[in-house]
């Protein structure tokens, strides 16, 4: 993913654990600078090629609008470990978002929302990528 090839736009994401739709703001210059500082161009490419959901969720969280981010304010969350012991932890932000993403369908939705947001979901079609196919006509032999 080349940072210079981005065509930012707003995108949306729905998770089963939430009643509201999440909105990702178009990427700003500040977001591009953050991506470059946090990862660098090669690492961003690697994140998408390897579908690194942990880092993709961090990028998605960064792009959420304030109303969507407000759903992930710090809160006390109860966890029960494998021994049956419960513990309350204060969880918020990207970590809380990650706990609400379940299954491949939602992971894919997260990735697709981000790809749509950066304008990479559908490559632009230009004359150079379009190959015209000739229709083949078959004729019946006369008997």
Tokens (6 digits) for 53: 């959901």
Position 4 pLDDT exceeds 60: no
Tokens (6 digits) for 28: 């700003």
> pLDDT tens digits, residue range 82-141?
999 999 999 999 999 999 999 999 999 999 999 999 876 333 434 444 444 444 555 666
Please check whether residue 134 lies inside any domain of the structure.
Answer: no
Question: CA neighbours within 13 Å on the CB side: how many for 72?
Answer: 24
CA distance 42 to 123: 20
Q: What is the pLDDT of residue 137?
A: 53
User: What is the biggest distance separating any 2 CA atoms in the chain, rounded to whole angstroms?
Assistant: 85
> pLDDT tens digits, residue range 42-59?
999 899 999 999 999 999
Domain count, the chain: 1
Please check whether residue 142 lies inside any domain of the structure.
Answer: no
Question: Under DSSP, is residue 59 helix (H, G, I), strand (E, B) or coil?
Answer: helix
Residue 73 sits in which domain range?
3-118
26-36 average pLDDT score: 92
Tokens (6 digits) for 38: 């946090």
Please check whether residue 30 lies inside any domain of the structure.
Answer: yes
């Amino acid at each position: 993913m080349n940072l210079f090839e981005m065509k930012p736009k707003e995108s949306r994401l729905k998770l089963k654990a939430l009643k509201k739709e999440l909105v990702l703001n178009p990427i700003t210059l500040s977001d591009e600078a953050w991506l470059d500082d946090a990862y660098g161009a090669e690492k961003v490419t690697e994140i998408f090629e390897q579908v690194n959901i942990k880092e993709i969720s961090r990028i998605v969280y960064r792009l959420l609008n304030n109303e969507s981010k407000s759903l992930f304010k710090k809160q006390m969350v109860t966890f029960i470990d494998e021994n049956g012991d419960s513990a309350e932890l204060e969880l918020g932000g990207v970590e809380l978002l990650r706990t609400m993403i379940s299954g491949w369908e939602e992971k894919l939705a997260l990735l697709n929302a981000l790809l749509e947001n950066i304008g990479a979901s559908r490559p632009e079609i230009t004359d150079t990528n379009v190959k015209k196919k000739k229709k083949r006509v078959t004729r019946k032999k006369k008997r």
